[in-house]
Amino acid sequence: MEIKAYSAYGEYDGCSSRATEGYVKINGVAVWRSSWCGRYSNYRGINLFLIDPFGCYVQRRRRFDTHISTTASTQLTNYVQLVNHGSIIVGVSADEATWHWDNALPGLKQIGADVSDVQHRGSFAFVARKNFPMNTVVRKVLTESQSYANPARLNARITGIELL
């Protein structure tokens, strides 16, 4: 599995700046793509994917636009609480996820994805197993300029139900 987050950068200028893109790939095949000023839709916020660890496919995907909505932030935490014990959750930030994310942070922290130090337009990606926070792998880039230059990425191998 390959995951790459992305951030918007600078003042909104009608997309005259360089495009940035993110993705989630399973076995080399993109199952999600998103971009800022690029060729893909901008799925701003925090994107979560439930992964079947045996069949290596996305069971469910959800986007929470935590940039624009406190309600989305609360919905993310509620969603994580309802996910089944042991489920594999992949998360990736897109564009900007921090503006109204305070209510999402407890849900993310519960699964071991403490990203509370990520700043405006920073980026992050993670793979977690529900109720096994010690197995969570998180990559984060804290600032807008750092994320624009080198956004959060990670590679993970999921075999059965164990994170490697």
3-class SS string, the chain = CEEECEECCCCCCCCCCCCEEEEEEECCEEEEEEEECCCCCCCCEEEEEEEECCCCEEEEEEEECCCCCHHHHHHHHHHHHHCCCCCEEEEEEEECCCCCCCCCHHHHHHCCCCCCCCCCCCEEEEEEECCCHHHCEEEEECCHHHHHHCCCEEECCEECCEEC
Which stretches of the chain score pLDDT less than 50?
162-164
**Quick one: what percent of the chain has pLDDT higher than 70?**
92
**What pTM was estimated for this model as a whole?**
0.93
Residue 38 has what pLDDT?
Answer: 86
For the chain, what are the domain ranges? 2-163
